[in-house]
Amino acid sequence: MTETASPQFHRFFNDPRWALAMVRATVLEAAHPQVGAALIDNSAFVAHPWRRLRNTLVSLQRMFGADEEVRQREAARLNRLHGRLNGTDAQDRPYDAMDPEVRAWVIATLFESSVTMCRLSGQPLDRATMEQLYAEFQAFLAALGDRAGHLPPTLREFWPYYDRMVEEELEDTEALRLILYRLFDHLPAPPLLDGVPTVWAAGRALAGPVLGTITVASLPESFRRRAGLPDTPGAQTLMHSAYTAAGLARFLPEGWIRTEHLTGLLSLTPDSDDPRLATLTALRDRARQAGALFRLVTPFPAQRDADSPDEAPRGADEFFTAVLDQTADGHLDWPDLAAMARELASRLDLDEPAETRLYDAFAQWWRELQSALDTDGDGRISREEYTAAVPSLAGPALIRVAETLFEAADADGDQFIDAAEYRALFRTGFRRTVADAGGRYSRSAFVRDFLGFMSGRMRSTAFDPLLADA
């Protein structure tokens, strides 16, 4: 994979226009019936979009980086992840995330949206640069092990392929509508801004519809008409202005805008030990003051007080929504627990067989939950079934999940989680109540805390950023 070391993708990766291009590419992916069905059935992107964004960007960095070993490791991880995503959609049509034609379309949307972002901002790529960029995306697909042919071999052949896919394959899927009209309008605050919900709600009320309008306007016109997407007056002007304005940020001093830094800031939690948090906390306090003013003059619904005690208990209904229902479809089923396993395995960057052991432990827990709580036998657990039982979840299978997670986090196998291992899982330093006198986290303490979180429904523990935050 020699082409991936070239600078084209990395130049775009830290380009502010890339954020708009990524959203556009995601919508085009979701319009493919197989991708849309996989997203609806398995993805946590609605309830946990910031987690999904960060994981996607980290994966792209690894796949387009210069380190061949890292690239191969990430490709193997992606293949294992995709291998678990298959089923049938609402029309009983099969979908499979390992389908090479589907994977080729995902890569095609990333490439075409990169080209389009330059064109829409008035700086179209020359042919040589476009050829080089296309070769990098072809190399991405090759690194996944997909044979040649599913993505056209030349740039000249790519454009007829792209037009054919848009005209013949894309649909007005449920996933597409969720992204455009639910995610943008109800985007949860990132962990760092969770303490200022009123300010976030006010900003989202303005920015959400604008982002949706820009994204729709950037889609191929023929698909917009076929899908019945609105043609908002002035949308084209707004779209070009947004791309142009984002492009101007490229002239800021180098290092001011780096994707990994921005996503890292967004994923910070209020109890993080990151040195940048002090400055950001001061900004949060100012924003909270502004939020108090907003509450006086706007009818936003009451929000949870960010200054409430750390260990305030969650009700069963809130716990179901915030932690268990990872896919935000109103039910608990295997994809929700698989999303938990996927996030934990990603954080720890697990290889086989540790990843499989973690998934197997969650699968056993799902069978235990289904047996105990699925009273109507429909294969899933409704919020009503869960809250009516108000179960104690600390059964044998959940204990096994806790033990398997500990073993995965305990990289050196010494039966303790040290500071570095703790940071790998929680992305922050030890809490005061976690480490023993030797600066370690014991197996028994870890299992106790995990079970307390999952059965006691306590918020703001070390596990909240893992499974509850957006």
DSSP assignment of 159-202: HHHHHHHHHHT----HHHHHIIIIITTSPPPPGGGTT-HHHHHH
In this prediction, the residues of the chain whose per-residue pLDDT falls under 50 are 1-6, 293-298, 300-311
Helix axes 396-409, 443-456, angle to 10 degrees: 130
Residue 332: strand, helix, or coil: strand
∠ CA 175-387-359, rounded to 5°: 55
**What pLDDT shows up at residue 317?**
85
Outline where DSSP puts E strands in 284-399.
Answer: 331-332, 381-382
Sign of the dihedral through C-alpha 373, 377, 383, 389: negative
Residues 368, 398 contacting (CB under 8 angstroms) = yes
Distance CA 80, CA 149 (A): 22
| Amino acid occupying residue 323 | V
Residues 247, 120 contacting (CB under 8 angstroms) = no
The Cα diameter of the chain in Å comes to 65
* 8-state DSSP, 427: S
Distance CA 73, CA 98 (A): 17
Distance CA 24, CA 216 (A): 8
Give me the residue spans of the domains in the chain. Answer: 2-249, 316-467
Write phi, then psi, for 210 (nearest 5 degrees). Answer: -65, -45
**What pLDDT shows up at residue 16?**
82
**What pLDDT shows up at residue 3?**
40
Distance CA 338, CA 341 (A): 5
Question: Whole-prediction pTM value?
Answer: 0.82
CATH code that applies to domain 316-467: 1.10.238.10
CA distances from 366 to 42, 320, 321, 396, 397 (A): 15, 14, 17, 12, 8
Residues 241, 218 contacting (CB under 8 angstroms) = no
Residue 371, Cβ density class (10 Å: 0-12 exposed, 13-18 middle, ≥19 buried): exposed
Tokens of 125: 């790529």
**What pLDDT shows up at residue 437?**
58
With residue 454 as reference, give the H or E element that holds it: helix 443-456
**What pLDDT shows up at residue 286?**
57
| Amino acid occupying residue 277 | L
Distance CA 302, CA 181 (A): 23
- Non-local (6+) Cβ contacts of 266 within 8 A are 50, 54, 190, 191, 192
* 8-state DSSP, 313: B
Q: How many CB atoms within 10 Å of residue 281?
A: 15
Residue-wise pLDDT for 145-196, tens only, equals 987 668 999 999 999 999 999 999 999 999 999 999 888 888 887 766 666 6
Residues 369, 381 contacting (CB under 8 angstroms) = yes
**What pLDDT shows up at residue 282?**
55
Sign of the dihedral through C-alpha 29, 81, 463, 62: negative
**What pLDDT shows up at residue 303?**
46
